[in-house]
Amino acid sequence: MLKLLNLLKDGRFHSGEALGAALGVSRSAVWKQLQHLESELNLTIHKVRGRGYQLATPLNLLESQAIASFAEGEQWPLFIHETIDSTNAEGLRLAAAGQVAPFVVLAERQSAGRGRRGRHWVSPFAENLYYSLVLRVDGGMRQLEGLSLVVGLAVMRTLQAFGLKDAGLKWPNDVLVKGRKITGILLELVGDPADVCHVVLGIGVNVNMQASEGIDQQWTSMRAESGQLVDRNRLVALLGQQLQRELARHRRYGFAAFQEEWEQAHLWQGRKVSLVAGTTRIDGVARGVDGQGGLRLEVDGVEKSFSGGELSLRLRDDS
């Protein structure tokens, strides 16, 4: 299936005879494989008599060599999958099996992609970026303080380098463009955070997706904002470089070194918000973040700090 996709990915017409010759199969076998691509991967393939078969949209498949061609400096080992349950889950499995960190897991599609608070992450084939970086942390909770916020900054700067100047942050770890979500970040931890543990930095970026069902919030994509097809291999390379820089600074100085710049990028700074945890709701004004990455919220004239993976921040209706 991947060989056939590589033949079709340019978005041009290819005859069934030429495809069969390249794959060493009959034209009828090519036809069956094309039907499988349409049903299994939800791809649209145009069929024109006398011209052959054409993908409705060119595909930009992930390739380690292409990523390396864009990269500068140190490159983390890459594990690229056509289909997987979740890149975060695979990262945790590899760490448990003894794979030396840091390393990156990528996928063209996720069958069980996860977001924060147990949400499903919609993961269409070869359209977006499903990226998990696994790090080893040796002792000291300080290395984990504000880590997801630092990752958000790195992603935001990467998107800005691609021309999305309106990209900004929403606490704790979403990236928005014009109020619509373009990136989600999910950190998962395994091991003893007081001794040796592994942390998986899961990053989902809407890259070339133009339409999708099953997303229950306003969203956008890099392609929707720029009007151009984005090279996902270049995106992986530039994101890796940005993460290396920011994570090295975080290891050396902690989150306090990022506090001011994170607040400058926070789109809801000074806005009336509601902090929701289950059935509990706290109304206040977003004043920024503390030195550990917790939300500073002014509640009835008193500033308080809040942190936790199950918290959700929403704009108040009257803001």
Q: What separation, in Å, do the N-terminal and C-terminal C-alpha atoms of the chain show?
A: 50
User: Helices (H) and strands (E) in the chain — how many of each?
Assistant: 9, 14
Distances in whole angstroms, Cα of residue 11 to Cα of each of 46, 66, 115: 10, 19, 32
163 in a labelled binding site: no
181 catalytic per annotation = yes
114 in a labelled binding site: yes
CB atoms within 10 A of CB 200: 24
Distances in whole angstroms, Cα of residue 165 to Cα of each of 6, 91, 226: 33, 31, 10
Q: Of the listed 109, 170, 181, 223, which one is catalytic?
A: 181
Q: Of the listed 109, 116, 232, 296, which one is catalytic?
A: 116
**Count of residues for the chain?**
319
119 in a labelled binding site: no
Helices (H), the chain: 2-8, 16-23, 27-41, 64-70, 87-96, 147-161, 222-226, 232-253, 259-265
Q: Of the listed 32, 51, 117, 314, which one is catalytic?
A: 314
27 catalytic per annotation = no
Q: Are 169 and 266 in contact (CB under 8 A)?
A: yes
116 in a labelled binding site: yes
87 in a labelled binding site: yes
User: How many Cα atoms are found within 13 Å in the side-chain-facing hemisphere of 22?
Assistant: 15
116 catalytic per annotation = yes
E strands within 89-218? 103-107, 129-138, 167-170, 174-177, 180-191, 196-205
Tell me which DSSP letter residue 74 carries. Answer: -
251 in a labelled binding site: no
Q: Which residues participate in the annotated binding site for biotin?
A: 86-88, 110, 114-116, 181
Q: Catalytic positions, please? A: 116, 181, 314
**Residues making up the binding site:** 86-88, 110, 114-116, 181
